Amino acid sequence: GQNIDQPTEMTATEGAIVQINCTYQTSGFNGLFWYQQHAGEAPTFLSYNVLDGLEEKGRFSSFLSRSKGYSYLLLKELQMKDSASYLCAVRGSNYQLIWGAGTKLIIKP
């Protein structure tokens, strides 16, 4: 079967760093996406990895290891507005996205 696992909820402090992990088992791999979703809103694109390694975009970085079926999203200098759910999605062999259930990130002052 196909499976994507993320922690259900994480808590971090404003100004700190947090790492959200995602592990996957899918039939085929054509890229991994991270999306941010604020409560009651639509998911918005954050990052895309298709090759192993780290992709950096400002305060956000995403890492991929295809051999381990593992990715993480790293958020630095956390701000209150980063309180949201973070969705991991893998593009499988049929080019459709398979979505994790999301990680709810709570930022405390």
Partner 1 sequence: NAGVTQTPKFRILKIGQSMTLQCTQDMNHNYMYWYRQDPGMGLKLIYYSVGAGITDKGEVPNGYNVSRSTTEDFPLRLELAAPSQTSVYFCASRSKDRVQNIQYFGAGTRLSVL
User: Contact residues for partner 1 (CB under 8 A)?
Assistant: 4, 8, 30-31, 33, 41-45, 48, 87, 89, 91, 95-102
In whole angstroms, the minimum distance from the beta carbon of 90 to partner 1 comes to 10
Short-list 50, 45, 57, CA closest to 87: 45
Q: Please give the single-letter amino acid code of residue 91.
A: R
Q: Rounded distance, CA 13 to CA 90, Å?
A: 29
- Shorter beta-carbon distance to partner 1: residue 94 or 109: 94
- Shorter beta-carbon distance to partner 1: residue 74 or 97: 97
Radius of gyration of the chain (CA): 13
- Shorter beta-carbon distance to partner 1: residue 31 or 61: 31
